Structure 1
Amino acid sequence: MKNKISLPFLTIILITSYLLVVSAISAPAAAVERKPILVGMSWDITGWNAPSGRPEGDGAILAVEDWNERGGVFGGHKVEYLFRDDESDPIKAAGIAREFIRKRAIAVVGGASSTGAIATVGILAPAKIPFVHNAGSLKALQRGPDGKVYSFSSVGYTPQWPAVTFHHMQKNSYKRIALIYTKAAFGIAVAEEVRKAVVEKWGPKYGMEIVSDIGVEMKAVDLSSEVAKIKKSKPDAIWCGLYAGNQAAFAVGLRTTNWLPPPPFYVIDAWVHEVMAARGRKLMWGAVGWGGVDSRRKDVQELNARFKKRFGYESIGAMLLGYDAMNVILHAIDKVGTDPLKIRDIIEKEDFPSFRGRQGTLTYYNAENGYNALKPEDHVLFRVNEKGEEIIE
């Protein structure tokens, strides 16, 4: 006798199946998994430029954390970073850039020194990977195989700086200029631009001349003899193309030679702030800083307070460079996604919000329009007085 399925049992099966189907249809769709986006970070945190590289790297990390806390980029993708220390070594910097390419980083931030940035962009540009760095040497500008620029500086480039500083010197009737610089890519490049500016414009037009011209090794920690030589040349002002470590040694040399108060010495704002944060504000008495940052601004002070709470030390200038550089990349990714070519296009075409700029903009190279920099009158210039206070000019 064949087994028969009872009608009630069949009814239960049909009802159960119906409910399962309805439940599956009406249940909310599972959240779409959004893969994290990888960005490379290459900073010199243990090499000779560590006084700048470390806070720049930490500033970039803070920017990533801020974006992730707000929900990520491009519709909710979290940002991951691959952090590497290039140790201020161009060979290591190039190797790190190759690693970023192998691991499919869609963009790279770093290059606290021109020495590292030049090596990095030499690998990334041929691979058409956008690179935002904090190096000033024009050699860090290299084009990809498509003829487009893939490297962008958040500090501007060395030809821009003489225009700012000499404009201020001329306004104050300084004519005898001493030049001291670090014998590394950035220092050499900026020294060439200073000499060129004096020969081509500021000498013939305003009577300026270079009365002392000294290069120093990047690992030098005692510049007393160099300061003594500069003192003998009796300059009205001193142009310092020095990395932060050398700049601190220079400031100590002023005290060792009892050259106080010194003539005004011109230093990019990031280095002024880093030396004051690490060695004491009074050490930089006599400095004339220039750049896009006004450290009195409320937003800058708030960001610096968050940075100090997060990392346990103070930094203004260098931290902001790293923070801004990473923000440029993440802003572009948030707008166009993960295509490196589209990211590059956005960086080139747009001015980005920044804590640094008085006008709310970064300075970077625009391949189409040339130097997209703040004009001399738009830069913030300040003098450091005997108490270590920054007096805005």
Structure 2
Amino acid sequence: MTSLILPSSGGLAAYTLTGAPLALPKPGAAPQFNRVAYAAAHIVVDPLADNAPWLDQAIDWERTIAFRTHLWDLGLGVAEAMDTAQRGMGLSWPGALELIGHSVAAAKNHPGAVIACGAGTDHLTPGTDSSINDVIRAYEMQIEAIEALGGRIILMASRALVAAARGPDDYARVYDRILRQVSQPVIIHWLGEMFDPALDGYWGAADHWDAMAVCTDIINTHADKVDGVKISLLSAEKEIAMRRRLAPAVRMYTGDDFNYAELIAGDALGHSHALLGIFDAIAPAASAALARLAAGDEAGFHAILAPTVPLSRHIFAAPTRFYKTGVVFLAYLNGLQDHFLMLGGQQSARSLLHFAELFRLADQAGVLHDPEQAVARMRRVMAVGGVV
């Protein structure tokens, strides 16, 4: 068995790989699911660009689009230009629009590809006093630009709206105005403050249950313009409660990277679909599990996904907003990119101990697709950190 030296809270110790890699789907027709499943996809930077890595955007378009093709081949949809792509944490609105343009064009050339794209207000200058009308115009501008490229909309939460709103009525006003204009039903994204502290108090309420009442009322009032809602609150209880309050035609897309398996499987009263950052990292496992669920094999679905949950909870551990680092790190270990560099230098957002535990959990979940390659790459990363 292959082993390597890894750090832990007790010092350095040998770790011997024990997991059996999950069999990857064979090339061919994408599997069929009975859930709609999006993976929020990360971006790949150009490691050889001559720039200021903390400030400049230098995206490797070939590898970035190749990763989206990887997701489509597995039957997953792509949620583009979302927080997993470092939107608002390194990826600017002009960069996001360029990314959306590349991805929408690629989707048109990939049979069956599904894509939805994040529209927000992040081009508004931080720290300025934006009004509710400014927020509306900002949403309108991004939606118009994305729809002009042929993209469908994921309506992202707005930091500017949090700053400008004086209560739930302002949220109702903004969403009413926007939803009346969109050309196709949108996915609304409620991103919790654990993912972005600037979104604390979204929907005009500090309490999530009060906020849920506001959000649900807005959605059900405009049910014909809402494909679904993705909530990222890391609470199965809250997601299930909201799911049961939605209009029948409105989907719940789980954004719960702690409890996704049970929420997707559902119960006698319904189930969630998926729009998850962790599906970027565990895409083959997610695809295989969803295919089992569609075939009526719920036990097989859980057998594949259950081992990935501890890994996901580790990747999304507080500070949760740095989960992107773990997602990109796993893509590097699995050979989906040749380096581990990120926009804004965010490869440094997690510790060596975090990476070591991620490696152990990925092995135990069976998502290290080529263990020897993963070990070789892990040794290089550890060596840079002084672990030899």
Common fold by TM > 0.5: no
State the TM-score, normalizing by the size of structure 1. Answer: 0.31
State the TM-score, normalizing by the size of structure 2. Answer: 0.31
Name the structure where strand makes up a greater proportion of residues: 1
Higher relative contact order (CA 8 A, sep 6+): 2
